[in-house]
Amino acid sequence: MKRTVFKGIGTALVTPMTEKGLDYAAMERLLEIQLSGGVDALIVCATTGEAPTLTDEEHIDMIKFVVEYVKGRIPIIAGTGSNYTDHAVDMSIMARDAGADGLLCVTPYYNKCTQEGLVASFTKIAGATELPVIVYNVPSRTGVTIKPDTYVKLSEHPNIVGIKEAGGDISAVVETMSKCGGKLDMYSGNDDQIVPIMSMGGIGCISVLSNILPKAAKEITDKFFAGDVAGAAAAQCRLKPLIDALFSEVNPIPVKAALEAMGVIDGYMRLPLTPMTAANREKLLELMRKEGLKV
C-alpha cells in the first residue's frame, strides 16, 4: 500500500526574505499562523516559495529550519524539482537529509521534454531516496503537461504517490483518476478548484490561500470529508473573489503583499518579481477585510 503524505490542506509557504537574505524570524511568525490554523502539511521552497531565486544552500537551510521548528507535528514536503534531473536528484537527497517527509517535484521547465522524458526523469528522482514523491503538473509555468497515460506509468513506481494538479483541465483530471485506479493521491494545485477535484476523488489542496487564511481553507476540505459537500462548495464559492485577487498578478506577488499588510513578513521579492500594483493591492486588501483580516 502506498503512503499518503497528507489529507486536507497543505500550505505552499512563501519564503520570507529581505534585501539581506532569508528572514527566519518572519518564517517563525508564518509557521505559527499555520500551526494554530490547523493545516495538515507544509510545502517549503516550491513555486510560492520562490525556489528558482534561492541558492541551493538557502533552499536546504530553509527546509532544515522549518523541519526543526515544526518538530514532526505535521509533514514537511520539500520542493526539489528542477529542469535538470540530476540537480533535482541532488536536491532531493539533501532535502531528505534535512528531515523532509516528502518531495514535491515539478515537471522540467524551459528545456521541457517528451512524455517519455517525464517518466524517465521522475523515475530517477523517485529512486534517489525512500521519500514519497508528489509530481507537480503546472503547464502554465513549465510548458509541459503530464498526460493521463503518463500518470498511469508513473503510478507504478512505489515512491511516486501523488499529484499536485494545476493544469486547470477537469476533463483530464477525470481521465487521470479513472485510469490510475486509486494508485495516486490527487491534490488540487489551484485554490479555486478544491471542491471540483475532491469530487473526483482528490484528497486535498496544496494551497496559496492558506498562507493568510488557513482555517478558512481547511474549512473547505473538512466539510467535504464530513460529507457536507454543499457546505464545502459554499465555502469555496464565498472565497472565490479573494482567491482571484491572490492570483491577479503572478504568484507569489499578491500573497506576499497580503502577508506584508498583515504584519507577518517584509514582502520583499527577488527579481524578476516586482511589487504588486496599487490598484490590485487595494482590491486584495478590501477582500481580506471582508474575511475579518486586520490589514
Residues classed as catalytic: 136, 164
Where residue 126 falls (left for φ over 0; alpha for ψ -120 to 50; beta otherwise) is alpha
Query: Residue 236 corresponds to which cell in the numbers above?
Result: 469555496
Direct distance between the N- and C-terminal alpha carbons of the chain, in angstroms, rounded to an integer: 46
Based on C-alpha coordinates, what's the Rg of the chain?
18
Burial of 100 (0-12, 13-18, 19+ CB in 10 A): buried
What is the C-alpha to C-alpha distance for residues 78 and 67, in angstroms, rounded to an integer? 10
- Dihedral sign from CA coordinates of 66, 258, 6, 140: negative
Nearest to 61 by CA among 35, 88, 30, 100: 100
